[in-house]
A and B are shown apart, each in its own frame.
Chain A
Amino acid sequence: MYQTHYHRASSIDEAASLFAKGDDAKFLAGGQTLLPVMKQRLAAPSDVIDLAKIPALIGIEVTADRVVIKAATTHYDVATNAQVQKAIPALAALAGMIGDPAVRYRGTIGGSLANNDPAADYPAAVLALNATVKTNKREIAADDFFQGLFATALEDGEIITQVSFPVPAKAAYEKFRHPASRFALTGVFVAQSKAGDIRVAATGASASGVTRVAAIEQALKSNWSAAALDGVTISSDGLMSDIHGSADYRANLIKVMAQRAVAKAG
């Protein structure tokens, strides 16, 4: 790792001002992606600003209609939170599938979303559940937040403060895991809102990051069942193709994971 300066911020405002002072600063949340990238010298920030101990960024609030997760809340704390398990069990289950137990103790929802890895899990939940990403400057709808491979609507120095998920009528996440990295070779999150809207998001599949899957949403609108997807064909256009799986393979996985997710959601 190249030389860097570490700063522990005690408030969101302090973090923003530390960021502005650095030449090429980066925010550090759980560090489970940023630190490996820095160790490989693929990133060399002049300053890293640690957000993980800012009290205003930690915690979970659950009401009848919404689950609000503050940005520096760890995957472990989301996965094991009894209120999240009750309100949106699919979200707690997803958090419990990220990486391995040691990674889940450190990794955070804000870090995962800001990084927007094309095979990360949380982006699928945020997009399918139509969550709102709140930052220190504004609120961003899920449809506007994700902008391609490792790209988001976040501006330089903008800090995610919390993510607000509407409680759905039904939801489930199914992930075909890469056995070594635990990233999604393809993961699909299906959700039916209380108003009856259906949203389906796939991660790990598209070369432009998390995406909604219109063909599956359409089929589930007329019939919410795994069987309704039997006749659906997913195009392999724009899907990733690598040593782990071809674009065609991933296209098929989108359908199969969606069917399993619908069956699980009930």
Chain B
Amino acid sequence: MTTINLTVNGKAVSVDVEDRTLLVHLLRDHLNLTGTHVGCDTSQCGACVVHVDGRAVKSCTMLVGEADGTSVTTIEGLAQGDQLHPMQAAFRDNHGLQCGFCTPGMIMSAIDIVKRHGGKLDEATVRHELEGNICRCTGYHNIVKSVLDAAGRMNLANAAE
């Protein structure tokens, strides 16, 4: 057992876990943050994507030791109280989800995409950049629409700051 100290959604957390524990299991089983999903467990589907020190990574392919001392943001950490993150709001408004299983990973990856590309985002880029996130309902069309919509909202929000 090892004590892992990290910040999750702004709160300092200290957990005793086995060295073989993956970050996704620390989040789900020890912190009860079950919004982050395990889909394929082979780092292909992206349902487990969270932000570690601001970078969107697959939490099923990271040992807790690698995450020690980092700051992690999960889907639960995006909304400010009742106010959804612009990406979450855009997914709701554009019907960007069907069963919802892939959605947390899609949203975490999508925020990263918008941050990297800013206002230069187009449909082809969104489709290409979402290659590491798989939607089994195959609802990609509205997911792409949601990301582009949110990109506009996020850039407006940044400009207003």
Residues of chain A whose beta carbon lies under 8 Å from any beta carbon of chain B: 1-8, 28, 31-32, 35-36, 38-39, 48, 50, 52, 76, 99-103, 105-106, 180-182
- A101 interface neighbour in B61, B62, B112, Cβ under 8 Å: B112
Chain A residues near B113 (CB-CB < 8 A): 101
Known contacts A4-B20, A5-B19, A181-B44; A101/B63 CB under 8 A = no
- B61 interface neighbour in A8, A35, A52, Cβ under 8 Å: A35
Known contacts A31-B61, A101-B109, A101-B132; A180/B44 CB under 8 A = yes
User: What is the CA–CA distance of A8 and B69 in the complex, to the nearest angstrom?
Assistant: 12
How many A-B residue pairs lie within 8 Å, measured between CB atoms? 81
Report the stretch among B50-58, B78-86, B92-100 that lies at the interface.
B50-58
Q: Would you call A4 and B56 a contact (CB within 8 A)?
A: no
Chain A residues near B68 (CB-CB < 8 A): 8
Chain B interface, number of residues (Cβ within 8 angstroms): 29
| Cβ contacts B128-161/A at 8 Å (1 or 0 each) | 0101110000000000000000000000000000
User: What is the CA–CA distance of A100 and B113 in the complex, to the nearest angstrom?
Assistant: 12
Of all chain B residues, the one with the shortest Cβ separation from A2 is: B20
User: What is the CA–CA distance of A219 and B120 in the complex, to the nearest angstrom?
Assistant: 41
Q: Would you call B132 and A36 a contact (CB within 8 A)?
A: no
User: What is the CA–CA distance of A101 and B113 in the complex, to the nearest angstrom?
Assistant: 9
Chain B residues near A101 (CB-CB < 8 A): 56, 109, 112-113, 129, 131-132
Would you list 18 pairs from A and B whose C-beta atoms are within 8 A, ordered by A residue? A3-B20, A6-B2, A6-B19, A6-B65, A8-B66, A28-B66, A31-B62, A35-B22, A36-B61, A38-B20, A39-B22, A48-B63, A50-B63, A100-B46, A100-B133, A101-B113, A105-B56, A180-B44
Q: Among B43, B46, B132, which residue has the most Cβ atoms of chain A within 10 A?
A: B43
Main secondary structure of the interface of B (DSSP, over half): mixed
User: What is the CA–CA distance of A102 and B129 in the complex, to the nearest angstrom?
Assistant: 10
**A108 nearest CB across to chain B (Å):** 12
- A1 interface neighbour in B20, B44, B58, B65, Cβ under 8 Å: B20
Chain B residues near A102 (CB-CB < 8 A): 43, 46, 49, 56-58, 109, 132
Chain A residues near B41 (CB-CB < 8 A): 39
Closest 7 CB pairs of A and B: A100-B132, A6-B65, A6-B19, A105-B55, A1-B20, A100-B131, A102-B58
| B18 in the interface (beta carbon within 8 A) | yes
Q: Would you call A50 and B65 a contact (CB within 8 A)?
A: yes
- B43 interface neighbour in A32, A48, A180, Cβ under 8 Å: A32
Known contacts A4-B20, A36-B61, A99-B132; A50/B66 CB under 8 A = yes
Chain B residues near A32 (CB-CB < 8 A): 43, 61
Of all chain A residues, the one with the shortest Cβ separation from B65 is: A6
Q: Among B42, B62, B68, B131, which residue has the most Cβ atoms of chain A within 10 A?
A: B131
Q: Among B20, B68, B132, which residue has the most Cβ atoms of chain A within 10 A?
A: B20
User: What is the CA–CA distance of A8 and B63 in the complex, to the nearest angstrom?
Assistant: 11
User: What is the CA–CA distance of A36 and B68 in the complex, to the nearest angstrom?
Assistant: 20
**A50 nearest CB across to chain B (Å):** 6
User: What is the CA–CA distance of A216 and B58 in the complex, to the nearest angstrom?
Assistant: 39
Known contacts A100-B132, A102-B49; A3/B57 CB under 8 A = no
- Contacts A5-B19, A39-B41 known; list 15 others, CB within 8 Å: A4-B20, A7-B65, A8-B66, A8-B68, A35-B63, A101-B112, A101-B113, A101-B131, A102-B46, A102-B57, A103-B132, A105-B55, A105-B57, A106-B57, A181-B44
User: What is the CA–CA distance of A48 and B18 in the complex, to the nearest angstrom?
Assistant: 13
Chain A residues near B56 (CB-CB < 8 A): 101-102, 105
Of all chain B residues, the one with the shortest Cβ separation from A76 is: B55
Chain B residues near A4 (CB-CB < 8 A): 19-20
User: What is the CA–CA distance of A31 and B23 in the complex, to the nearest angstrom?
Assistant: 13
| Cβ contacts B112-127/A at 8 Å (1 or 0 each) | 1100000000000000
Q: Would you call A106 and B18 a contact (CB within 8 A)?
A: no
